[in-house]
Structure 1
Amino acid sequence: MKMTFQKLVIGASMAIGVSALATAPAQAGTLTGATIGGTAAGDYLVYDVSGNSTVKVSNTQTNVQKVLDGSAASPTGNVELRATTEQSGFDFTKNTTLSGQIGGQSITLSSLTATDWFGAGLNTTYGAQNFANTWFNQFYDAAGLPSYISRAQAFNAFLGIGGFQRSSDPNISYVNQNDTTGEIKIGLAGHYNLKDYYAPLLGSLGSLLKNGFQASEVVKATYNGKTDFLYSFSATASGLTNSAGIGADGKSHSGNYEVSIKGVPPTAVPEPSIILGLLGVAGVFTTRRQLKKASI
């Protein structure tokens, strides 16, 4: 009878320990050691949050790290890479990067260059086999232009206003990782209604854009030996706008576009409560051995 009771105690303790392991919630890791680099390392802006507004703050490493701690449910400020893309004389051969560690792995997020878009030969023709054409065809569909505006016509108009370089300066608002699946999610701050931004630039063509159409800027991500171009055509409302300070327009940063990478799950570290549960199991076995010795 005594042995049966001991087995029951041991079984229950082991069940508790295993249950704790099975039901432990997935943790979310964030980017650490954030640093700015690239061939145009000084060309970035940092936006923090004040109330419901994003506001420019000093370009310091402390501020860069601080504003990256949000999530899709609660976006915060952001870091804009290659911030001068809208200025005349912009050098489209250089980039700005945001690098750091997440889940023990290195990750680098970068603005795009002309070569990224158009290839080494810088082929800006519609129909060329390059990323610019792949992306723009999706952009055209999202913009909802009438069919009598051909893709080639829209492509050339977009190229003419510097649309590709304007889409090359991603605003990174967060970089998070699911510690169980390894998935890395990156928030890109942008316009919730992109027609507000492009309609004035495209003139009569701009008036034909679908109201409320959405498209993020593009970020170049290098992680675990692989480089991808990440972007989205679907946003959630961020609850924020760039509506305070110099350069504020009351519309930027209103949308949160989330993109993702299939990441490497970090090495699991048990929760303190799980460790205590396992120690309890070990304690039962120790007690059992002591009782067995005492009965000899």
Structure 2
Amino acid sequence: MAALLKKLLIGTSVAVGMSAVGIAPAFAGSLTNATIGGTAATDYLVYGTSGNKTVLIPNTDANVQSILDGNAGTPTGNVELAASSEKAGFDFSKNTSLTGDIGGKSLTLSSLTASDWATKVSGELTLAQKWFSDALISTGFSNILSNPFLSGTAWNAFNNNGGLQRFSDPNISYVNQDDTTGEIKIGLAGHYDATNLLFGNLSNGQKALINSLRDPSKVGTPIQASEVVKYTYNGTTNYLYNFLATESGLTAFDDGVSHNGNYELKLAGVITPPPPVAVPEPSTILGLMAVGGLFAAAKRNANKKA
């Protein structure tokens, strides 16, 4: 009898253990197995944090991985892809990428090349044309688009002074996924106020004219624009950017301005189904029933003896 009870109780403990697996709570996942690649795989920088400053730390896979677990409220640094994009001699035909796994799928985030900006993305518009138009519309300067002279002036001042290169080197601060909805959030560190990045090469007179045409509801607000990141995920390759920043609470140690804005990009992710919940074998269920019967019989015998 004792031996039989021992075997049945072992079966019971296994069944209880399997039930516990089935009710484990879900958590938001972050990018894992992060590696740097691309045709310019060494052209990147890793920024950690020291207090409220971002500081350069060694370029290692471990450091890259360590800074990707933050979120909009608590970014923990960033990885700058194509870090030499604003330097003389930059090769605009090469890219630097960050690849990792999230939710059981591979995700690659990449800097942009000149050919990316020339890609047709909306009718006859190239990515460069669409992004610049979106930037003007989102920041309250849509009136400029109806004036060929002003829009051409703004574009030439931006493009002829390395504007596209400047927005091609995304600083990736975090990547995480909601395990319930599948939504992937990608944080880009940037400038909370990007006015100088967009219009810094205009003359004072040109700036005054353009500002006079700004949407009154936007006057006095910062001009915000994220860098652009190219992604490949679940068989799709496309581009992400937006024009809405939150304050990151950080600034770069070297200039006191960079990285003070956080731009959160969103991507519809795939929810990987959880492993099936283990169900006790019929023999285990019968064993549990037998245990109940044995205890009932033992109780009856005890009552008779009493």
User: What is the aligned partner in structure 2 of residue 290 from structure 1?
Assistant: 291
CA distance in 1, matches of 2:75, 2:36: 21
CA contact (8 A) 1:218 1:230 kept: yes
User: What is the aligned partner in structure 1 of residue 265 from structure 2?
Assistant: 259
Instruction: Give, in angstroms, the shift of residue 268 of structure 1.
Output: 2.1
CA contact (8 A) 2:187 2:264 kept: yes
Instruction: Give, in angstroms, the shift of residue 59 of structure 1.
Output: 1.1
Deviates more, 1:77-86 or 1:144-153: 144-153
Structure 2 residue 142 is matched with structure 1 residue 132: no
Unaligned runs of 5+ in 1: 1-16, 121-126
Letter in 2 for 1:138: D
CA contact (8 A) 1:29 1:103 kept: yes
User: What is the aligned partner in structure 2 of residue 241 from structure 1?
Assistant: 251
CA 1:252–1:268 in 2, change beyond 3 Å: closer, same or farther? same
Question: Could you say what secondary structure the match of 1:157 adopts?
Answer: helix
CA 1:287–1:206 in 2, change beyond 3 Å: closer, same or farther? same
Per the normalisation by structure 2, the TM-score is 0.75
Instruction: Give, in angstroms, the shift of residue 173 of structure 1.
Output: 0.3
Task: Map residues 175-254 of structure 1 onto 2, 5 A cutoff.
Answer: 175-204=175-204, 205-206=206-207, 208=210, 211-242=221-252, 244=253, 248-254=254-260
Question: Could you say what secondary structure the match of 1:164 adopts?
Answer: helix
Instruction: Give, in angstroms, the shift of residue 133 of structure 1.
Output: 1.2
Structure 2 residue 71 is matched with structure 1 residue 68: no
Task: Map residues 1-296 of structure 1 onto 2, 5 A cutoff.
Answer: 21=23, 26-119=26-119, 129-145=125-141, 147=144, 150-204=150-204, 205-206=206-207, 208=210, 211-242=221-252, 244=253, 248-268=254-274, 287-292=288-293
Letter in 1 for 2:250: L
CA contact (8 A) 1:194 1:214 kept: yes
Residue deviations 1:177-227, cap 9 Å, x none? 112222111100001111254454334345656651111000001011101
CA distance in 2, matches of 1:257, 1:25: 29
CA contact (8 A) 1:167 1:217 kept: yes
Question: Could you say what secondary structure the match of 1:201 adopts?
Answer: coil
CA distance in 1, matches of 2:259, 2:125: 32
How well do the aligned residues superpose, as a CA RMSD in angstroms? Answer: 3.1
CA contact (8 A) 2:158 2:201 kept: no
Instruction: Give, in angstroms, the shift of residue 73 of structure 1.
Output: 1.9
CA contact (8 A) 1:48 1:67 kept: yes
Instruction: Give, in angstroms, the shift of residue 71 of structure 1.
Output: 0.8
Residue deviations 1:6-26, cap 9 Å, x none? xxxxxxxxxxx89x95xx754
Per the normalisation by structure 1, the TM-score is 0.78
User: What is the aligned partner in structure 2 of residue 12 from structure 1?
Assistant: none
Instruction: Give, in angstroms, the shift of residue 267 of structure 1.
Output: 3.6
Aligned-residue sequence identity (percent) comes to 52
CA 1:262–1:241 in 2, change beyond 3 Å: closer, same or farther? same
CA 1:43–1:108 in 2, change beyond 3 Å: closer, same or farther? same
CA contact (8 A) 1:31 1:68 kept: yes
User: What is the aligned partner in structure 2 of residue 4 from structure 1?
Assistant: none
Letter in 2 for 1:290: V
CA distance in 1, matches of 2:295, 2:51: 68
Letter in 2 for 1:60: T
CA contact (8 A) 1:179 1:268 kept: no
Instruction: Give, in angstroms, the shift of residue 143 of structure 1.
Output: 3.7
Question: Could you say what secondary structure the match of 1:141 adopts?
Answer: helix
Unaligned runs of 5+ in 2: 1-18, 212-218, 298-306
Instruction: Give, in angstroms, the shift of residue 290 of structure 1.
Output: 3.2
